């Protein structure tokens, strides 16, 4: 079974984000980066399927040259080879979906697994757009995946609990937080990953126009929360909740 997975380069969620003074973007100079945690879960799931069913896992990264670091991390986890689409910077969700659609047409995988969203922009759009462009079935927010023959049974988290869907392959799955616990690459695997192939292509090689459909014009920090105050009694508390907080 051939599986295509993604490894997006995102800012470390433990870092404090600062906005540039002119509001044009995030100040990146002091930030560290890592694989999007949901993509890391997707890579782990692909590896588990490969260990059970055999086949090949291909890690895809879209972005600048620095995105190869996250691809190498996926290779050190156990993926077989990587593809780096050098887009110069991070394209929007629609462009990423169209890039992945072209790669899927080239590689003809049985399954594409992505993180349900990237923690930097939180769009939660790529998996759904990719399935539409390919004309494949999809199962989003997967918390459990079982492959049987040419069918994937997916348990997905919904507001009311767990929904179970059967999907014919090839298909697209997006990984939720509780799907698995990703492995930590051992040192020998990290060293071995340095010798694994990363194929380099550009969006133009794939015939994809990455002109953004969504443009962020300005960023700003949310207003600071006002400090609380001490009330004298219950009557004053109720009055404050009604007249100031307007929650009663």
Q: Domains of the chain by range and CATH?
A: 2-212 (3.40.50.620)
Tokens of 5: 């997975």
Specify the pLDDT at position 90: 80
Q: Binning pLDDT at 50, 70 and 90, where does residue 222 land?
A: confident
| In the predicted structure, residue 14 carries a pLDDT above the cut 80 | no
In percent, how much of the chain has pLDDT > 70? 100
Between these two residues, 212 and 55, which has the higher pLDDT value?
55
Between these two residues, 119 and 51, which has the higher pLDDT value?
51
| In the predicted structure, residue 91 carries a pLDDT above the cut 80 | yes
Is residue 151 within 8 Å of residue 168, measured between CB atoms?
yes
Specify the pLDDT at position 82: 96
pTM summary value: 0.84
pLDDT, averaged across the chain: 90
Specify the pLDDT at position 159: 85
Q: What is the gyration radius of the CA atoms in the chain, in angstroms?
A: 21
Among residues 183, 164, 155, 141, the alpha carbon closest in space to that of 50 is found at 183
Q: Binning pLDDT at 50, 70 and 90, where does residue 220 land?
A: confident
Among residues 109, 125, 124, 103, the alpha carbon closest in space to that of 56 is found at 109
Q: Binning pLDDT at 50, 70 and 90, where does residue 176 land?
A: very high
Q: How many Cβ atoms are within 10 Å of 136's Cβ, its own excluded?
A: 18
Is residue 68 within 8 Å of residue 32, measured between CB atoms?
no
Between these two residues, 238 and 20, which has the higher pLDDT value?
238
Between these two residues, 27 and 83, which has the higher pLDDT value?
83
| In the predicted structure, residue 199 carries a pLDDT above the cut 90 | yes
**CA 136 to CA 171: how far, in whole Å?**
5
Average pLDDT over residues 129-148: 95
| In the predicted structure, residue 114 carries a pLDDT above the cut 90 | yes
């Amino acid at each position: 079974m051939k599986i295509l997975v993604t490894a997006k380069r995102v800012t470390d969620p433990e870092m404090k984000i600062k906005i540039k003074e002119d509001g044009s973007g995030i100040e990146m100079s002091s930030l560290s980066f890592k694989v999007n945690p949901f993509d890391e879960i997707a890579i782990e799931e692909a590896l588990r399927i490969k260990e059970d069913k055999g086949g090949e896992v291909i890690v895809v990264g879209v972005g600048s040259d620095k995105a190869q670091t996250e691809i190498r991390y996926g290779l050190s986890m156990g993926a077989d080879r990587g593809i780096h689409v050098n887009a110069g910077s991070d394209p929007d969700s629609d462009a990423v979906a169209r890039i992945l659609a072209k790669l899927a047409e080239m590689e003809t995988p049985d399954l594409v697994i992505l993180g349900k969203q990237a923690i930097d922009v939180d769009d939660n759009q790529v998996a759904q757009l990719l399935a539409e462009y390919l004309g494949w079935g999809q199962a989003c927010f997967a918390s459990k995946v079982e492959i049987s023959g040419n069918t994937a049974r997916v348990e997905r988290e919904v507001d009311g609990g767990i929904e179970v869907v059967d999907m014919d392959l090839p298909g697209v799955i997006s990984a939720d937080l509780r799907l698995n616990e990703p492995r930590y690459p051992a040192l020998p695997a990290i060293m071995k990953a340095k010798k694994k192939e990363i194929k380099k292509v550009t969006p133009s090689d794939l015939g994809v126009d990455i002109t953004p459909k969504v443009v962020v014009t300005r960023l700003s920090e949310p207003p600071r929360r006002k400090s609380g105050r001490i009330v004298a009694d219950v009557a004053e508390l109720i009055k404050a909740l009604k007249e100031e907080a307007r929650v009663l």
